[in-house]
Amino acid sequence: MPTPNIPQKSPIVKEMPPGTYWWCTCGNSKNQPFCDGGHKGTGFTPHKTELTETKTVAWCACKHSKNGPFCDGSHKAL
């Protein structure tokens, strides 16, 4: 698997309403942390995330989290 780009080395924290979100896994999106199609031709695909209630989410922006789209602190080791 190719190595993702790192848009930033800290999470993107947002209050999110319930819904379906497509988290960018490649790091190329101009609409971080969400996919805008910038992965085309890279071997990456976006990660579908369902939120069932409004909550504050710390989206991973370094693209190295072991916890899917959510920050797990991996950025501290980059």
Whether residue 7 has pLDDT greater than 90: yes
Q: Determine the pLDDT at residue 55.
A: 97
Residue 25 backbone zone (phi > 0: left; psi -120 to 50: alpha; other: beta): alpha
> For residues 66 and 12, is the Cβ–Cβ distance under 8 A?
no
pTM of the model: 0.93
pLDDT tens digit sequence for 10-64: 999 999 999 999 999 999 999 999 999 999 999 999 999 999 999 999 999 999 9
Per-residue pLDDT tens digits for 64-78: 999 989 999 999 999
Positions of E strands within 1-78: 12-16, 19-23, 47-51, 55-59
